[in-house]
Structures are given as structure tokens and as C-alpha cells.
Amino acid sequence: MRACRKPASRRARAADRHILFHELLDCLKGTECPVCRLVRQRMQSRMAALFRELVNDPPTRARLRAALGFCPRHTREALRQGDALGLSILYADLMAELLARLHNAAPASAASRRPACPECGAEQADTAEIAEAFAAYLAEPEMQDASRGNLRLCGVHLLTVMQAATPEARTFILGQVEPALQSLLKDLSEFIRKSDARFRHEGFGAEGDAYLRAARYLTGTSDEDRHSDG
Ligand SMILES: [Zn+2]
Ligand SMILES: [Zn+2]
């Protein structure tokens, strides 16, 4: 496949990267990790497309049958689409597949292991693509200007982007995130110190909610994001 790549598809990928550049710029204005947000948006539009036009698509159905449906998280997302007929068609297929496998059940082997959820696989690919592109863009002045003071990558995606970044981009990223991380760590240590009976009389200050800020930092979301996500 790779050998017969056409110039048109290269152009299409270049256009996709250009769109991604602007999507990332837009995400930097929000309070959520840009990688988390774009990966979720792509997943939601794939789910919408599945019920809009791919319920009877043979390769889509084959992937779902092989995995016996989605993982619990993506099942919730599929149910949220609220397409009772589409869901009935998909689940009729999956129930028939389950019954067929029951009749052919053999001792557990590598062949009978459940393949990964197709959406989890697509999300992994999206995460790698978006994090890699963001790392490359963070070497450019326009992306650096937009990220200054707004680089809210969650802990996991911060590491993913760092691993893909050039030495110059790494220096920029570290300069943006390290002071906030050090300060958060200091607040957590101060909270722990003041929780000791000998120092409790000092009372809590800004460090009082450090554990909440650390939890939000690592998951890349603000309270508003969590609530709007449902
Ligand atoms: Zn993230
Ligand atoms: Zn999944």
C-alpha cells in the first residue's frame, strides 16, 4: 500500500495537517488538553458517521463482529447516539455472532481471544497522529505564541508530545509547564506538612485544593469540561 501512494493523497494529508494546525490553535483557547479534546471530537464524529451511513457497511460490521462489539466506554458512546434501529441491526449481528461462537467454542487459544475494540484502536492512531503533529508545530513561532501560558496538555499527552518533539520544542514545552508543575508539587508537600498535628494551627492557604488541581492536571480537564461531557 505504502509503495503506491499517490501525489493526490500526499496533498490530502498536507491539507489534513493544515486543518489540524488550526484545530490545535483553536483548542489552545480552551481549558482542556488539546490532544484529549481532538481525539474525543474525532471519536464522536466517527460514531455519528457509523449510525448515519455505515451500519450496513460490510468491513465495519466485520470489525465489530471480530471484537464482539465496542469496549464499555465506546458502547456508552454508541448508545448515546440514540439510533434504536441502527443499534438493533448491529446488536442482532453481534448476538448471532455470539451464538455461532458458542456452538463452535473450543478450549481457550490465541485465536479465540477477543480483538481490541475498533474505536480504541482508532483512538490510539488519532492520539499518535495529533501528538506528533502538535510536537512538530510547537517548533513554529505561531504555535509557540498561541501556546505561551495556554499549554494545558494532560500528564499522559504531555509526555507523548515531549517524546515526539525536537530539542528546541522540548525546551519551549519545559519552559511552559515545569514552573507550574514544581509549584503544584510544592503546594502538595505543604498540604501534607500542614496536615501534621504539630503544624495544623497554621491553617491552610492556597495549598488547600492542590490535590484537586493535580488530579485535573493529570486528566487534562477542568470541572466545566467534566460537566459538559456528561
Ligand atoms: Zn490529554
Ligand atoms: Zn473502545
Rounded CA separation 97/101 (Å): 6
In contact, 56 and 85? CB cutoff 8 Å: no
Rounded CA separation 39/32 (Å): 12
pLDDT score at 216:
85
pLDDT score at 137:
95
Q: Where are the domains of the chain?
A: 6-229
Tally of CA atoms within 13 A in the half-sphere of 226 that contains its CB: 8
The DSSP result for 167-184, as a single string, is HHHHHHHHHHHHHHHHHH
pLDDT tens, position by position, 95-130: 999 999 888 877 766 555 667 899 999 999 999 999
Ligand 1 centroid from CA 14, angstroms: 24
Rounded CA separation 187/134 (Å): 30
Helix residue ranges per DSSP H, 28-154: 34-49, 58-67, 72-80, 84-103, 118-137, 141-147
Closest ligand to C-alpha of residue 152 is 1
pLDDT tens, position by position, 133-147: 999 999 999 999 999
Full-model pTM? 0.80
Closest ligand to C-alpha of residue 217 is 1
pLDDT score at 1:
36
Ligand 1 centroid from CA 36, angstroms: 4
Question: Kind and range of the H or E element at 165?
Answer: none
Ligand 2 centroid from CA 35, angstroms: 17
Residues 6+ apart with CB under 8 A from 115: 66, 67
Ion ligand 1 — residues with CB < 5 Å: 33, 35-36, 154, 157, 220
Closest ligand to C-alpha of residue 126 is 1
| pLDDT tens over the chain, length 230 residues | 344 444 556 666 666 668 999 999 999 998 889 999 999 999 999 999 999 999 999 999 999 999 999 999 999 999 999 999 999 999 999 999 999 988 887 776 655 566 789 999 999 999 999 999 999 999 999 999 999 988 989 999 999 999 999 999 999 999 999 999 999 999 999 999 988 888 778 877 888 889 999 988 887 665 544 444 43
In contact, 184 and 213? CB cutoff 8 Å: yes
pLDDT score at 221:
64
In contact, 2 and 124? CB cutoff 8 Å: no
Rounded CA separation 70/53 (Å): 18
- Give the residue among 229, 37, 59 at the shortest CA–CA distance from 150: 37
